[in-house]
Structures are given as C-alpha cells and as structure tokens.
Amino acid sequence: MVVTDTRNHILAYLEQQGSASVKQLAGQLQMSSQALHRQLNKLVDSGKIKKLGKAPRVQYCLADDKTFQSPAGLSADQKSVIEQKFIQVTPEGKLLEGETAFIYWCQKFKLDASKTAREYVTAVNKYEAFRKDELIEGTEKLARTFKDIYVDRLFYIDFYAIERFGKTRLGTLLLLAKQSQSKRVSKQLTQEIKPCLEKLIRQFDLDGIAFVPPSVPRQIQIMKEIKGAYAGVGKLIDIQRLTGDIVVPQKSLGKLSDRIANVHNGFAIKGGQTVKHLLLVDDALGSGATLNEIAHVIKQKKLCTGKIIALTITGSPKGFEVIQEV
C-alpha cells in the first residue's frame, strides 16, 4: 500500500467510523503501529485530522472543515499585535495563536474581522500604556489597598484580562496551565515569562528568590514549575503555607478583609539564609494580601536586608480585584 493510498484509507475509515484508535486503524489497514503513527502525524500536521485525548486513550477523527483566511485590509501593525497577543482555546482543547486564533474568534461570534481588528488593537494599546520597560508597575495599587506595606516594588508582566476581549495571552496560558494540568502549557508559560523575570533580577541586583506556595493542591503546580526553571539563580527562601483544619483558598474570598484575615500568620520560613535584595514571585495578583504578608514575615525575621521586589504573571489595572478563576 503506497503512502497516498494509506492516508486516503485512513481518511475514508475515519469518515465512516467518526473516530478510531491506533489499534483499530492498524487492524483495519493491516499495518504496524509504528508505520501508522508516521502517517497519522502527517495528517495531523496537514490539518486533515485531529488527535483527541492523551496516551493511552487517544482517538483520531477528521478535522473540522474550517478555513481561517486572513481578512483584507489589515495593516502591518494590526497583524503584528494580533500575532503577538491573540490566543484562544477551542472547545475541543486546541490552542490557537495569532491570526488563526483571531479569525476563529471572529467567525465564532460572527464579527467583521477588519473592524474587530481595529477595535482589538485600540483596546490593547490602551492597556499597553500602563507598561514601562516591558513590565507593569502595581506598587501604587498596594498603597491604595493596605495601610502597612512590606513590598518595596510590585510588578506584573501582563493584565489578566482586558475589556471586551477577555483574558490576555498570559491570562489564558496561566488559566489553561492550572485547569488543564498540561505540562506543555506550563513549560510554554514559564518560557514566556522568563525574560521579564531575568530583567528584574539584573535591574535590582537581586541575590535571593522566593515563590508563593499554592493553596490549592494540584498535580502540576505553576510556581513549582517556575521554581524548577530558576533553581540556582540566587539564594532560595523557602516559604511554607500554614493552614487550619479547612483550607480556604484566597480566590474563594470576595472581601479584602477576609483575604487579609486568611493569610495573617499563614506563612512560615523553612530554614533561613539572609539575602540583600529578594524577588518574590506569584502567579496572579488579586488583593496583594498574600505577597504583603509574606514580605512582612521575611522582614520580621530579617532575612532580607534590602528591598523585596514582587513579580506576578498577571494583575489588574484597578485596586483590589478578585481573580477567582486562578
């Protein structure tokens, strides 16, 4: 059976059956799993079929007959912003990026792509005005929220969401990494925030690093993934979360006073080594209560003699804002 015939037989069988496993296809086509995988990968790459599930429970089916043609009239600047920023996850779990994601979104909501592109770029530029040297400063946000502030400077890499268009690129990757527990997405997120993290380390001559521990148990923890990528960058201050009999996640609390009470005396330091300037890393900034409390504990124990610089992956442009999803 020649390669072209093999692929046509695969397509014909999937059209007839709806979906099939490698074992079913191998039995039908009388070929080895290894040879079949090569043809299936070619068909997936060409967009003719799609892969569903994870090993060992994988099924293949015909891809949706959708085309994502670039709309006429988009300027080079519009295309550049969309390519860098726009991201979507389909209901089937496929991660689309750039222009493909944008056209998919416009088709889904029956929007004029050219008009929506102009509106999207305008919205992005509005929020990009907050950015300086690749980062968004949120120190003033803490000052408006807390009487006593223990974090010297606070930055985040991106907003979690923007008006009308919803979650940003990093907001989407962060939520997807947590909810899907995808190792691939976690790695992609870690790589995308790497330049900003390294920039802060250089800018403030940071010799120590600490990561906010999670409150919700998950098999894949984002902070642990990031921590693993930056092992050896500086002295590690290991933070431990102290909880009562019932763990109450910060994201479940809608009042600022409840969030402050939730983290008060809620952290301890495992071991202790003094650093001059410390980078404190978290995933999303809601109230800032967790970061402020951890900074308080570190300064009380005199483990940082200089500044504590906090960095979160996402935040909001307003004061206290609940980001419940993550």
User: Would you list the DSSP string of 277-299?
Assistant: SEEEEEEE-SSSHHHHHHHHHHH
Return mean pLDDT, the chain.
85
Q: What are phi and psi of 244, to 5 degrees?
A: -85, -165
In this structure, of 76-80, 88-92, 279-283, the range with the lowest mean pLDDT score is 88-92
Q: What does the pLDDT average to over 183-191?
A: 89
Choice between 279 and 233, residue whose per-residue pLDDT is larger:
279
Segment 273-324, tens digit of pLDDT: 899 999 999 998 888 889 999 999 999 999 999 999 999 999 986 654 556 5
Task: Give this prediction's pTM.
Answer: 0.76
Percent of the chain with pLDDT over 90: 43
* pLDDT score, position 92: 73
| Residue closest to 145 by CA, chosen among 324, 290, 325, 314 | 290
Domain 133-315 in this protein, CATH class: alpha beta
Beta carbons of 210 and 278 less than 8 angstroms apart: yes
Cα–Cα distance measured from residue 51 to residue 42, given in angstroms and rounded to the nearest whole number: 12
Q: In this structure, what DSSP letter does residue 207 have?
A: -
**Confidence class of residue 67 from pLDDT cuts 50, 70 and 90?**
low
Residues 117-128 have pLDDT tens digits of 999 999 999 999
The pLDDT of 181-194, averaged and rounded, is 88
Whether 66 has a pLDDT exceeding 60, the answer reads no
Lowest mean per-residue pLDDT among 16-20, 54-58, 79-83, 206-210: 54-58
Q: What is the end-to-end Cα distance of the chain in Å, rounded?
A: 50
What local confidence, expressed as pLDDT, does residue 1 receive?
43
Q: For residues 274 and 180, what is the distance between their CA atoms, to the nearest angstrom?
A: 37
112-120: average pLDDT: 94
The SS3 call for residue 6 is helix
pLDDT, average across residues 81-96? 89
CATH of region 3-62, choose from 1.10.10.10, 1.10.1500.10, 1.10.540.10, 2.30.110.10 = 1.10.10.10
Quote the CA–CA distance of 235 and 208 in Å, as a whole number: 4
pLDDT at position 2, please? 47
DSSP assignment of 15-60: HHHSEE-HHHHHHHHT--HHHHHHHHHHHHHTTSEEEEEETTEEEE
Domains in the chain: boundaries: 3-62, 76-128, 133-315
Higher pLDDT, 5 or 81: 81
Top mean pLDDT of 63-67, 70-74, 271-275 is at: 271-275
Residue 3 confidence (pLDDT) = 53
Asked whether 298 and 279 are in contact (CB, 8 A), the reply is no
Q: Which of 4-8, 201-205, 220-224 has the lowest mean pLDDT?
A: 220-224
What is the rounded average pLDDT of the residues 170-197? Answer: 89
Domain 3-62 matches domain 133-315 at the CATH topology level: no
Considering Cα of 68, then 73, then 74, then 76, what sign does the dihedral take?
A: positive
pLDDT of residue 173: 94
